[in-house]
Amino acid sequence: MVVYVYVALNMLMRALTVDSIAVQRHRATILECVKDSVASIQRRALELIYLLMNVNNVKPLAKELIEYLELSEQDFTGDLTAKIYSIVEKFAPEKIWYIDQMVKVLSEAGNYVKDDVWHVLIVVISNAPDLHGYTVRALYRALHTSSEQETIERVAIWRIGEYADLLVNDNGMLELKEPITVTESDAVDVFETAVKHHSSDVTTKAMALIALLKISSLIQKHQNIRSSLVEKMPVLDEATFSGRRAGSLPIAVSTSGKSSLSIPNGVVKAAAPLVDLLDLSSDDAPAPTSFSANC
């Protein structure tokens, strides 16, 4: 039976070059094969789903794959997580959907996500000022349901440290989104938990301490400790960051001047200099896909 299923998947793979519409009709069956107990079938089906993905079907297919993350075996979770990220980054129709899906991925399988992935998420969020209030609340919620995933903890720590005032004051609300009540003490507790947690590594604890300095200045208004260290991080230059990921720019990038870049909704934003506060670079980072390069 396993052999027959694998052969059938291979036949569908070949049929893609002849009649992709006909293969699309079998999406539901192929998705079930992704959930098969046999590793070879899972991986072949996942590859086929990736090839079937387009801007028209990305939302329902990505939803199915992300929901399966919670049930997938550990041996397959890494491959599934990487493929979901590639799909979301490549086909995301708008930034808010991209952010929502990545928060879900980090919440379910953050420990399988490479550093380069959450670095990109931070860059995308920093370049979406109209979503700052929304994302800080989304990450705060996610942190309280997925505290065992250190990657979501890092992104949430960074976000709350930068924009705790939006979280506490419930600013930047989007329509149809329920407000949440978060006190200054609640926000500080996030960092205290990260610093004291025995499993938090040095990077997480360092990010928590820096965020704690920022929030003391941002919310509690201790002007005597305000300095360049605790000022809000400038908007990260997505074009420069993408170039460094691709290896087309040197690590030492000039911070003079500004560039203009396009994002999916057609709005053009001015990009500020890249800041290495979170060391958002990696010598062996993979080349960016179309979404990160254009968002």
pLDDT at 254: 39
Q: Answer for the pair 157, 191: CB distance below 8 angstroms, yes or no.
A: yes
Q: Which two tokens stand for residue 123?
A: 């860059």
Q: What is the pLDDT along the chain (295 residues), one digit of tens a residue?
A: 788 888 999 999 999 888 989 999 999 999 999 999 899 999 999 999 999 999 999 999 999 999 999 889 888 999 999 999 999 999 999 999 999 999 999 999 989 998 999 999 999 999 999 999 999 999 999 998 887 899 999 999 999 999 998 888 776 666 657 778 888 889 889 998 888 887 888 999 999 999 988 887 766 654 554 555 556 777 878 888 787 777 766 554 333 444 333 334 433 344 444 334 444 444 444 444 444 444 4
pLDDT at 87: 95
Number of C-beta neighbours around residue 251 at 10 A = 8
pLDDT at 283: 45
Q: The dihedral of CA 217, 221, 222, 228: what is its sign?
A: positive
Going by C-beta distance under 8 Å and a sequence separation of 6 or more, which residues neighbour residue 135?
99, 103, 125, 128, 159
Q: Where are the alpha helices (DSSP H) in the chain?
A: 2-15, 20-24, 27-34, 39-52, 58-69, 74-91, 95-109, 115-126, 132-145, 150-169, 184-196, 202-218, 238-246, 290-294
